[in-house]
Structure 1
Amino acid sequence: MSKLVISSFEEFEKYLGQELGVSDYLKITQDQINKFAEATLDPQWIHIDPERAAVESPFKSTIAHGYLTLAVAPYLWKQIAEFKNVKMMINYGIEKLKFNQAVLVDSEVRLKAKLQSLLNLRGVTKAQLDIELEIKDSKKPAFTGSLIFLYHFE
C-alpha cells in the first residue's frame, strides 16, 4: 500500500472507519534503549543490562521501555500518511493504551492504523486513530490504543 497524501479535512474524511495502512518495520536497538533510558532517567536493568537480563529476566534479553515503543508511533505514522497544507500538528492525547507484550532488543516493530473518528473543531481537524504496534514474527502486538492528533490545515 502506498502512503496516503492528505491535504484537507475533506480528503481525510474519506478514510473514516477505514484501515489506513501499515508502516515499514523499525528495528529497536540496544543503543536506542540506552539513549531512551538516559533521556527519561529510567535506567532499570531489564532495559540496559544485557548480561544481567540474559540471566535474571524472564525474557532472557533486554526489553524496550513501553514508552519508547509508544514514542516511535508518530514516526511510524508519518510512513503511513503524509499531510500537506498543515501549519501545525499537535499530539493531543492517548486513549485505551494497553501494553500487551514486551519488545525484546533487536525486534522489529511496525504500526497499523485505522481512522476511528474525525471532527472539524472550528477549523482544526481532530483525528482519532486506532493503532496497533505489531512485532515481527509475533501474533501478539506490543500495544494497542488510540492516538489523537490535531491538524491545523491552512
Structure 2
Amino acid sequence: MRSIASLEELKSLAGQEVATSAWITITQEQVDRFADATGDHQWIHVDPARAARELPSGGTVAHGFLTLALLPRMLSESISMGPEVRMLLNYGLNRVRFPAPLPVGRQVRGLITLQAVEEVPGGLQLTWQITVQCEGLEKPVCVAEFLVRCY
C-alpha cells in the first residue's frame, strides 16, 4: 500500500503512476450477484454452458460495469491518505472504455495514475486514471478516469 502523508505530497504526485492494486479474482458467483443486483442477466455473463459453446473466450465474461465497480476497492486497498484527509467522495467518471472482455475466473489489477489535482471549495478534486489489467491478456479490460473529491 502506498501511503501519502500530506496534501502537499499528494499534489506533487500529479502526472505520475502512484500505485498498482493487488490482484482480484473474478468469480462466477460475483458475476451472478451483480446480474441480480442490476437486472442484467445477459447470457454472456450468467450462462456458462452457452458461453462455453458460443463465445470465443470459451466461458462467461464479467459485466463491464462490474469491472468499473471495482475501482473504489482498487484505490482504497492501494493508497492511504494522511490525517489531513477527513473524507473521500466519488464525484464521477470522465472517459470510460472496455477495450477487452474480462473472462470469468481470471484475476485483475489496477494501474493507478494521478492525472490531475484541482482545488475545489473545501478540498481537492483528484482525477485518477485506472487501467485495469487482466492476467493473460495484452489489452486492458477497462480504462477509466475516476474523479474523487478529497476533503
TM-score of Structure 1 vs Structure 2, range by shorter chain: over 0.9
Match of 2:82 in 1: 84
Alpha-carbon shift at residue 16 of structure 1 (Å)? 1.1
Match of 2:31 in 1: 33
Q: Distance in 2 between matches of 1:112 and 1:78?
A: 13
Q: Give SS of 2:72's match.
A: helix
Alpha-carbon shift at residue 77 of structure 1 (Å)? 1.2
Q: Distance in 2 between matches of 1:47 and 1:127?
A: 32
Match of 1:114 in 2: 113
Given the two structures, how large is their TM-score scaled by the length of structure 2? Answer: 0.93
Which blocks of at least 5 consecutive residues in structure 1 are unaligned?
A: none
Alpha-carbon shift at residue 42 of structure 1 (Å)? 0.8
RMSD: 1.2
Q: Distance in 1 between matches of 2:146 and 2:19?
A: 15
Given the two structures, how large is their TM-score scaled by the length of structure 1? Answer: 0.92
Q: Give SS of 2:86's match.
A: strand
Q: 2:19 aligns with which of 21, 28, 31?
A: 21
Q: Distance in 1 between matches of 2:54 and 2:16?
A: 43
**Aligned-pair identity (%):** 35
Q: Give SS of 1:131's match.
A: strand
Which blocks of at least 5 consecutive residues in structure 2 are unaligned?
A: none
Q: Distance in 2 between matches of 1:87 and 1:62?
A: 40
Q: Distance in 1 between matches of 2:93 and 2:120?
A: 18
Q: Distance in 1 between matches of 2:121 and 2:74?
A: 28
